[in-house]
Amino acid sequence: MTVRAAPQPVSGLAIALLSGFAFGLAGPFAASLLATGWSAPAVALGRLAGTALLLVVPLLVLLARGWRPRPGHLPAVAVYGVVPLAGAQVCYFGAVERLSVGVALLIEYTAPVLLLGWTWARSGARPRPLTLLGAALAIAGLVLVLDVGRGAAVDVVGIVWGLAAAVCLAAYFQLSAASGRGQDGPPALVLIAGGTLVGSAVVAVLGLVGVLPLRAATAPIDLAGWTAPWWVGVLLVAAVSTALAYLSGIAAVGRLGSRLASFVGLTEVLFAVLTAWWLVAQRPTGAQAAGGALVVVAIALIRWAEPEPLSPPAP
């Protein structure tokens, strides 16, 4: 009998790195649109609606091949569309509108620290010493990233947007795991296509009633000195940083597991900082670079120290 080698870890690592790179480009692509007068919710709507349009044909092919949703699939798609998609995009782009791409993303990536505090408060179970050390390092890193105490103006609204994005991020790996492993959740294509439809509808309705400002512009964008039409920015953020990023991210979770995939997902911060430096000339200071490295190390330490992926206890 021939034993087949399992290529899952190697292929899963490559897919996870691809996902991190694609996600990391979202900030620079969005920043190029925000610089021409787009509002953060409008960029989020363009990203979600554009992705939904790109995935319509593959979704129809899947339905034509006989796939049908189960009763539990629709709530999963709805939650995914509202929280990790619509919620995370609006909040993250709201942070990018006021902060640099790297700072906004680092604040968003404090999600494990927020979950740690919530879980501790609700369950009363004291975290491990290494976990507490990681949380302290993350806070210290954020102080450096935000230049607190150095006379720099701290944009409180931008920080609040970033923390709201962190809350939305906390739901991402948990909701992706079942689909990525082919369990009871809907397939990745259905989760992303349906989720972007739900998310774009939510953002559009909130914009129409005046809750979110939907402001777009037709001025050309600038990426690393290259001038392109506005729709190129929307296409890039939809096709690369959403469709490709989320589909590859879910596939990586299925191959590596949510714990290891979340570690590799930290490369998104590195990719985001480097591409923002290259594409939209957002160069971090030395203190911010050191703080960012400290935050990444802290989050990795928390995830290594905890026996299971951080999640709130069941109510």
How many domains are contained in the chain? 1
Q: What is the pTM of this model?
A: 0.78
* 212 domain residue, yes or no: yes
Write out pLDDT tens, residues 119-132. 777 777 777 888 88
Lowest mean pLDDT among 18-27, 133-142, 177-186: 177-186
- pLDDT value, residue 49: 93
| Domain carrying residue 145 | 23-305
Write out pLDDT tens, residues 135-176. 888 888 877 777 655 545 668 899 899 999 988 887 766 565
- What is the rounded average pLDDT of the residues 235-242? 92
Write out pLDDT tens, residues 85-106. 899 889 999 999 888 888 888 8
* 54 domain residue, yes or no: yes
* 15 domain residue, yes or no: no
* 115 domain residue, yes or no: yes
* 14 domain residue, yes or no: no
- What is the rounded average pLDDT of the residues 233-247? 90
Q: Residue 9: pLDDT above 70?
A: no
* 28 domain residue, yes or no: yes
* 55 domain residue, yes or no: yes
Q: What does the DSSP assignment read for the chain? A: -PPPP--HHHHHHHHHHHHHHHHHTHHHHHHHHHTTT--HHHHHHHHHHHHHHHTHHHHHHHHHTT----TTHHHHHHHHIIIIIIIHHHHHHHHHTTS-HHHHHHHHTTHHHHHHHHHHHHH-PPPPHHHHHHHHHHHHHHHHHTTTTTTPPP-HHHHHHHHHHHHHHTTHHHHHHHHHTTSSSPPHHHHHHHHHHHHHHHHHHHHHTTSS------SPEEETTEEE-HHHHHHHHHIIIIIIHHHHHHHHHHHH-HHHHHHHTTHHHHHHHHHHHHHH--PPPHHHHHHHHHHHHHHHHHHHHSSS---PPP-
* 314 domain residue, yes or no: no
- pLDDT value, residue 274: 84
- pLDDT value, residue 307: 56
